[in-house]
Amino acid sequence: MSPARDLAPVFAGSIPEIYDKYLVPLIFEPYAIDLAQRLASLPLTNVLELAAGTGVVTRRLAMALPENVFIIASDLSQPMLDQAAAVGTHRPVDWRQADAMQLPFDKASFDAVVCQFGVMFFPDKARAFAEVRRVLRAGGVFIFNAWDCIEENEFAMVVTEALATVFPDDPPRFMARLPHGYHDTATIRRDLADGGFSEQPEILSVAARSLAASARIPAMAYCQGTPLRSEIETRDPSRLDAATAVCEAALAARFGLAAIDGKIQAHVISVSA
């Protein structure tokens, strides 16, 4: 989830560990299972994963795909890959630092390219999609997902609104601006076409539930396990814990004091080369 070169530094420090501990089971795991199942039905010899982050999709691919399917899991952020490798997979994969804007692979190298919640961060979507098209074999498939608008993702929306009360003069808008900022399907179709994909993509809106044992978990996940942390600390580094507590209280007020359950929704896109 960290392919853009200008965001790589903020996926460092303690963020990869907190991201993997809190955010992955909270919102990424259901969609990782979904993507792996979609790929498992295809005849494949090798797969390239972009923006692998801490490896949630990689682990699912390693379980779902036959042992003879070679998996390369790439990300621009080495700290994220280090966390992924530390967690590991049940069979070997090739962890590779790589920039999605300039992939270090030969033309027509892969049967499939997969990317979970990374395309939103590409600084030039059409250019990145052109790189994907270049490394795909004829007939290969590009499968990726992108979050729907923040209004369809309840925990992220509550956190964003709560932080606006902490910093009213300059609200941190990372969640709305980037993770939930690439939800327009017409734009996605246009960018794929500009990247050289002539086939029409299939775009499905897939809803799921985000479950947590308490409001503390999503508050920590969003405020301290994503680049939202950098936006908070840029405004006032002494207020990270206080801002997290405000978000926890807002989540508890909305969803309850015990186990909580919120809607998440994303687009799942599949297009053939």
How confident is the model over 110-156, as pLDDT tens digits?
999 999 999 999 999 999 999 999 999 999 999 999 999 999 999 99
| The pLDDT of residue 9 | 41
Instruction: Please choose, from the candidates 254, 260, 155, the residue with its C-alpha nearest in 3D space to the C-alpha of residue 212.
Output: 260
Report the amino acid identity of residue 147.
W
| The pLDDT of residue 15 | 84
- Going by their DSSP bridges, the two strands 136-147 and 260-272 should be labelled as antiparallel
First vs last C-alpha separation in the chain: 23
Instruction: Please choose, from the candidates 221, 230, 220, the residue with its C-alpha nearest in 3D space to the C-alpha of residue 24.
Output: 221
pLDDT band at residue 13 under the 50/70/90 scheme: confident
User: Could you report the per-residue pLDDT of 144-195, keeping only the tens digit for each?
Assistant: 999 999 999 999 999 999 999 999 999 999 999 999 999 999 999 999 999 9
Contacts of residue 186, defined as CB under 8 A and 6 or more positions apart, other chains included, come to none
Higher pLDDT, 118 or 10: 118
- Any idea what DSSP says for residue 65? S
CATH of domain 8-272: 3.40.50.150
CA 218 – CA 81 distance, rounded (Å):
23
CA 196 – CA 192 distance, rounded (Å):
7
Alpha-carbon distances, residue 67 vs 44, 110, 113, 173 (angstroms): 11, 16, 18, 42
- Going by their DSSP bridges, the two strands 94-97 and 70-75 should be labelled as parallel
Partners of 47 in the beta sheet? 71, 112
pLDDT band at residue 16 under the 50/70/90 scheme: confident
User: Could you report the per-residue pLDDT of 203-260, keeping only the tens digit for each?
Assistant: 999 999 999 999 999 999 999 999 999 999 999 999 999 999 999 999 999 999 999 9
DSSP 100-153: TTS--S-TT-EEEEEEES-GGG-SSHHHHHHHHHHHEEEEEEEEEEEE--GGG-
111: exposed, middle or buried (C-beta count within 10 Å: 0-12, 13-18, 19+)? Answer: buried
Domain boundaries, the chain: 8-272
- Residue 136: phi and psi, rounded to 5, are -85, 140
CA 270 – CA 83 distance, rounded (Å):
28
pTM (2 decimals)? 0.93
- Any idea what DSSP says for residue 27? I
| The pLDDT of residue 217 | 97
| The pLDDT of residue 10 | 59
User: Could you report the per-residue pLDDT of 57-114, keeping only the tens digit for each?
Assistant: 999 999 999 999 999 999 999 999 999 999 999 999 999 999 999 999 999 999 999 9
